[in-house]
Structure 1
Amino acid sequence: MVWRNSVLSRTVQFKQVRLFVAVGLVVLGLAGCAAVSHRAGSASTASPQPLTSLVVATPDSDHDLLAQLLAGELALSSSDLKAASQFYANAMMISSDPEVAGKAVALAIAIHDPEAARHAIDRWRKLGVSPAQLAQARAQLAVEQGQTEEASRQLALLIGSGDKDAWRMFGRVLIGSRDPALAGRLLESLGTPERLPADPKAWLAMSELGEQLNRHVYAQQVADGALKRFGTAETYAWAAQLKLNNGDRSGGLNLLRQAQVKDPNNIGLRLTYASLLGQSGQYVQATHLLEKGPQNAQTYALRAALAANAKDNKTLQQVYTQLSQASDEVRNTSNYLLGQLAEVLGRKEDALKWYDQVSDEDDHAFDADLRSAILLQDLGRSVEAHQQLAEMQTDYLDQPAQLRRAYEVDADLYLREKRYGEAIDSFSHALQVAPDDPDLLYGRGLAYAEIGKIDPAVADFHRLLQVKPGDVDASNALGFTLADAGRDLSEAEQLIATARAAKPNDPSIADSWGWLQYRLGHLDQAAEVLRNAWQTGKDADVGVHLGEVLWKQGHREQAQQVFDEVRRVDPHNVALQQTLKRLGP
């Protein structure tokens, strides 16, 4: 191990230099005395100084406590537990510090070396470890080796030691066991209500440990005992959790209600109880519960979520008003939520202001910037939107997931603006970060198709279907692109038929099928399919297709009526303008 030798050699060199300096000072002092003597007139030749041939002895690395401890910590930092255990075993033999021996014990047990553990425990005992710590270590070793009787004896000594942390130490021994069945048996035999202290936290800890070790009957018994003996809000809450774990939702809710009554200002209880009420669809009851009592960022967030699920805009407005006037501490940690609420309430400018106040350390900082970019475009400030996204693409260069998303949103905004070339560039950048991402391939394929670059569009859709076989949207998009270009119509028919079977009521797929029938010359069938799709959703592009089919059928008055309606739905529809120019009505 080169690193170990270099570290130890540097330590030894340091000690040698330190001793050399000290000895040097002594030599200088003696030399000074000799000089005075010589100046006093000694005529005899000075005899050699006795220190000139002195060899300074320094401890080797194996007996250097500092070197062993340093090497042990370096091994730990490299997750080399075996090496760390050896270094600490060496260190404890030259140290009188019980903590060093305690660490040697823990490492020996961690690497499953019982002989080294026993040796370390014996050394720890001689250095003065407490009875509780000694019993804990011996119990850990016994549990590790599957020695039930010895483990039980040592755990009994531990909990009988009177140490204030005895039950916590007891739990640590069992939760760290590689044999959950043995740990469960020891828990049931020793962690009995008769032995547990008059501390509700200890009862709850043992009950939770029993639940983790799949001793559900024991866990319930101890929880019931704690509820009966102490009756605190925490005991009600834990008993409720066990009910919920066992599928007894009504029983769990009832206990939580009682817990909340006992401690109405306990925010954690109110949040838990309200969450469960909300999951049961009891939005009004949950909201009323949260409205009362102290408020923090979590209560406001849950109130907003409950109101959103209930589509209760009045309550959303109330939460928004209250939160915007809350204390600085609560408001400053809720800027992202305030931005979301402002968006829902149609206050886009306010939402921008709130998002701008989200700190860089906030978990929602990235999402706030994304939402700001989208809002900027909605407000007609597209240049600022793309500038913000460009800054994000620089800021998140070393975070692929965020970088991909920033490029994707940039591309989506360009698609909205019908700036298809820029959209293609942004999708391409995103695909460099996340190659073969289905959503990115789909978006770029659509952009290629919009500007008539059919070959790369088809290539993207084909690649998407290789990555995600059977994808309905990709099948429909590829089928429509081929049909619109009037090529490979048999493949287009197969693709759209597959998509139609998967989503028979989807208007966009019906539009593709109707347009394919038009390209195949089946005008009556095309008109019927497109008319149904148009009446279902009044999508402008569907209307344009229907109008063209009606025109080709000779129903020009009907076609004109459809075109007029499309114009009312989407006055600036590009497909309508191109179709009217081509047909010349």
Structure 2
Amino acid sequence: MSTKANELKGKGLADADKTSIEPDVMFMLLTAEIAGQRGQYDVALEGYMEAAKRVNDPRFAERAAMIAMYAKNAAKTDEAVSLWLRDDPANLSARKIAALSALKNEDKPAAVEHLSALLKIDPAGFEKTVMELTAAVQKQDKSAFVYDVLDELALKSPGHADVYFVQALLAAQMKNEKLADNKLQQALKIQPEWDKALILQAQLSAYSGDLPRARALLKNAAVKYPENEKIKKLYAQVLIKSEDYEAAGEVYRSLIAVNPADNDSQFAYGLVQLQLDRDEKAEEVFIKLVDKPEWRSQASFYLGKIEEKRGNKQKALAWFDKVTEAPLGLEASLSAISLLAKDRQFDEAASRLELARTRYPEQKQRMVLMQADLYNQQKQYQQAFDLLTAALAEQGDDKELLYTHALMAERIGKFDILESDLGKILAKNPDNPEALNALGYSLLDKTQRYSEAEKYLKHALELQPNEAVIMDSYGWLQFKLGNSQKALDYLQRAYDKKQEHEIAAHLIEVLWALNRKDEARKLFHKAIKIAPDDEYLLDVQHRVLKGEL
């Protein structure tokens, strides 16, 4: 062998026990390398391709494939990869490139061949590989084709739970939950203790709205695999989604008992205690987490919320001011501003809002909405309306801006604009319960278009049957229609769920109309004691109760 050949061998370009490089092939390789360095990729590609054909060394074919891919020459890429696999059939990279090309071209036999090889070469990485390949052809929407290829693969290589699991993932991507569930059941028949499949099965049930099934699956799995934290944590999340906070708390307690250093579960347990109005227990958890640097901001935020709920304004502000990091830095700033506004410290609230604008310039819309709320609380309705009008002109018909603009339009007597704004929201999203409720309530309160109001409110009630403000609106409509007993039923349920002053005022008026005056007086005294300046309560006192208190 020549001296030059030996030098190249030392660099790893040739292996004497595999092949002997002819001088003319060596010349091709040198020419190809120099061409590549000069950016002459077509020349480099031809040189490496020719070398790969003449020498059984996969490195030359690999180099040719890389250059062809860089040059976006699909035909040459396929040719080079074919040569690469001839010399190194177990090479993962070559198989993945070949599989990708087969999927793009919808060449089912080739796709089955290459995926079958990938399954044998790297069974542990099969799921990740197939999902990466699917993502790579996502623009061409090949999910259904990949699914069909896996069907063929399952026939060719039965007994692989991974294949059915990946099919389940693809079916879920295609929004076919039933098919996904069927494939998961096939995977679990082969590998019944596969926690990943059990978790996905429960997740799909939860996403499709079948929370009882998700709960049952996870409960059984948690009993069967008591050491599996992932299953227990997902079970707790489904319980929270089902609003079974007591049971969720028990799951988190069991996790913490096993691993007191599980701060994720500690934090979640604290949030659950807040939902159960056990503020002292939640406080104990968050106080401990404040000492953990990675949890300091989140814990401080919720400690601020607890103090706000207790009416300890200064303590709440102190906690909110400790929250400087994402994801709750902005929320803490806005919570502090709201708290100051509620205490009618509008100058301090405005000063903090200006600071928040500087700190969070990308949150322009949130700042506009907060400024509008400050104007609203000061009864500066025209300023709020003008601010929102300008924001809509700049940012377009944003849903939140439109909704708030509509409310301010109602405040300044521009009912036509209110109706137009809410109509724009409903044109894009006819199932928006907030807009349906606002429009329905405004129609019954400002006009006598009760049939239209009923249409909107019934739809809102169908979407959110347990929402207090919607029950209040529908109950008030029934009162306007003369159905006082039916009105009382809805209003009482609304007030039991949410003791807002406007709901209280409606309920007082209906009780009075039903000659249940003692109950009406008792409720009025309770509500006015909490909010002596509330406009709704003062209105019902002046208009209905008059001097009979």
Q: TM-score under structure 1 normalisation?
A: 0.58
The equivalent of 1:275 in structure 2 is: 237
CA distance in 2, matches of 1:501, 1:139: 54
In structure 1, the partner of 2:372 is 411
C-alpha distance after superposition, 1:215-274 (max 9, x if no partner): 8777556555556xxxxxxx552253265357575344222333333x5xxx54442233
Residue of structure 1 equivalent to 2:389: 428
- After TM superposition, the structure 1 stretch with the greater mean CA deviation from structure 2, 351-360 or 144-153, is 144-153
Which residue of structure 2 lines up, in the alignment, with residue 476 of structure 1?
441
Instruction: Give the aligned partner of residue 57 of structure 1.
Output: none
Match of 2:25 in 1: none
Kept after mapping to 2: 8 A contact 1:500/1:509: yes
Superposed displacement of residue 352, structure 1: 3.0
Alignment check: 8 A CA contact 1:139 1:151 kept: yes
Structure 1 residue 441 displacement after superposition: 4.7
Indicate whether 1:384 and 2:348 are aligned. Answer: yes
Contact 1:449/1:481, CA 8 A, preserved across alignment: no
Residue 443 and residue 166 in structure 1: after superposition, are their counterparts in 2 closer, same or farther (change >3 A)? Answer: closer
Say whether 1:185 aligns with 2:152.
Answer: yes
Q: Which residue of 1 aligns with 2:177?
A: none
After superposition, give the CA deviation of every residue in 1:110-143 in whole Å (9 maximum; x if it has no partner): 88x4x32333225657998974544554455556
- Aligned with 2:195 (options 237, 246, 253): 237
Instruction: Give CA deviations for 1:141-195 in whole Å, capped at 9, x if unaligned.
Output: 556556666656656666666xxx57536962686364221233224533746xx
Instruction: Describe the shift of the 1:426–1:184 C-alpha distance in structure 2 as closer, same or farther (beyond 3 A).
Output: same
1:65 counterpart residue number: 36
For residues 395 and 93 of structure 1, do their structure 2 counterparts lie closer, same or farther at Cα, with a shift above 3 Å needed?
Answer: farther
2:267 counterpart of 1:328: no
2:166 corresponding residue in structure 1 = 209
Which of the residues 254, 257, 275 maps onto 2:223? 257
Give the SS at the match of 1:388: helix
Equivalent of residue 323 in structure 2, options 338, 358, 365: 358
Determine the structure 2 residue equivalent to 1:121: 81
AA of the residue aligned to 1:302: A
Whether the 8 Å CA contact 1:339–1:351 is kept in 2: the answer is: yes
- The one of 318, 322, 337 equivalent to 1:373 is 337
Q: Distance in 2 between matches of 1:472 and 1:257?
A: 44
In the superposition, relative to structure 1, how do residues 278 and 62 fare at CA in structure 2: closer, same or farther (>3 Å)? Answer: same
Work out whether residues 142 and 151 of structure 1, in 8 Å CA contact, stay in contact via their aligned partners in 2: yes
Shift of 1:406: 1.9
CA RMSD of aligned residues (A): 5.7
CA distance in 2, matches of 1:116, 1:159: 26
Q: In structure 2, what residue type is equivalent to 1:121?
A: V
TM-superposition CA deviations, 1:379-410 (whole Å, max 9, x none): 4432222222234345555x4xx322221122
**Is the partner of 1:260 in helix, strand or coil?**
coil
Equivalent residues of 1:98, 1:128 under 8 A apart:
no
| 2: CA distance, partners of 1:335 / 1:534 | 37
Query: What are the superposed Cα offsets for residues 330-375 of structure 1, whole Å, 9 maximum, x if unpaired?
Result: 3356444444455456554444333333334x13332222222112
For residue 23 of structure 2, what is the aligned residue in structure 1?
none
Distance 2:313 2:264 in 1: 24
CA contact (8 A) 1:339 1:355 kept: yes
Asked whether the 8 Å contact 2:440–2:454 carries over to 1, the reply is no
The corresponding residue for 2:251 is 286
Check 1:572–1:296 CA distance in 2 against 1; reply closer, same or farther (3 A cut): same
Residue pair 1:407, 1:430 contacting (<8 A) in 2 also: yes
1:101 aligns with 2:60: no
CA distance in 1, matches of 2:491, 2:105: 75
Q: Is the 8 A contact 2:323 2:329 kept in 1?
A: yes
Given residue 237 of structure 1, which amino acid in structure 2 is its aligned partner? D
What per-residue deviation string (whole Å, max 9, x for no partner) do you get for residues 31-67 of structure 1?
A: xxxxxxxxxxxxxxxxxxxxxxxxxxxxx99974245
Q: In the alignment, is the contact (CA less than 8 A) between 2:165 and 2:183 conserved in 1?
A: no
1:65/1:91 contact within 8 Å kept:
no
Q: CA deviation at 1:88?
A: 9.0
> Matches of 1:418 and 1:351 in 2, distance apart?
26
Work out whether residues 277 and 285 of structure 1, in 8 Å CA contact, stay in contact via their aligned partners in 2. Answer: no
Say if 2:240 and 2:248, in contact at 8 Å, map to a contact too.
yes
What amino acid maps onto 2:76 in structure 1? Answer: A
Which residue in 2 is equivalent to 1:306? 272
Q: Is the 8 A contact 1:461 1:474 kept in 2?
A: yes
AA at the equivalent of 1:120: A
Structure-2 separation of matches of 1:121 and 1:492: 72
In structure 2, the partner of 1:176 is: 133
CA contact (8 A) 2:65 2:77 kept: no
Give me the whole-angstrom Cα distance separating, in 1, the residues matched to 2:502 and 2:118. 78
CA contact (8 A) 1:358 1:368 kept: yes
The answer as to whether partners of 2:112 and 2:152 remain within 8 angstroms in 1 is no
Q: In 1, distance between residues paired with 2:196 and 2:159? A: 18
Q: CA offset at residue 315 of structure 1? A: 3.4
Structure 2: segments with no counterpart, 5+ residues: 1-30, 52-58, 135-141, 172-179, 206-212, 428-434, 462-468, 510-517
Letter in 2 for 1:317: E
Q: How does 1:484-563 map to 2 (within 5 A)?
A: none
Corresponding residue for residue 512 of structure 2: none
Aligned twin of 1:11: none
Give the Cα separation in 2 of the matches to 1:423 and 1:157. Answer: 65
Query: Is the alpha carbon distance of 1:543 and 1:274 closer, same or farther for their aligned partners in structure 2, counting shifts above 3 Å?
Result: closer
Within a 5 Å distance, the mapping from 1:23-102 to structure 2 comes to 64-66=35-37, 68=39, 100-102=63-65
Q: 1:308 to 1:535 in 2, by over 3 A?
A: closer
Classify the secondary structure of the residue corresponding to 2:327. Answer: coil
Deviation for aligned residue 1:569: 6.4
Equivalent residues of 1:479, 1:492 under 8 A apart: yes
SS of structure 2 residue aligned to 1:68: coil
- 8 Å CA contact 2:168–2:181 kept in 1: the answer is yes
Aligned length: 453
User: What residue identity is the alignment partner of 1:211?
Assistant: A
Matches of 2:48 and 2:500 in 1, distance apart? 79
Q: Which residue of 2 aligns with 1:554?
A: none
Task: Read off the aligned partner of 1:408 and give its amino acid letter.
Answer: L
Aligned 8 A contact 1:408 1:430 in 2: no
Counterparts of 2:108 and 2:488 in 1: how far apart (Å)? 79
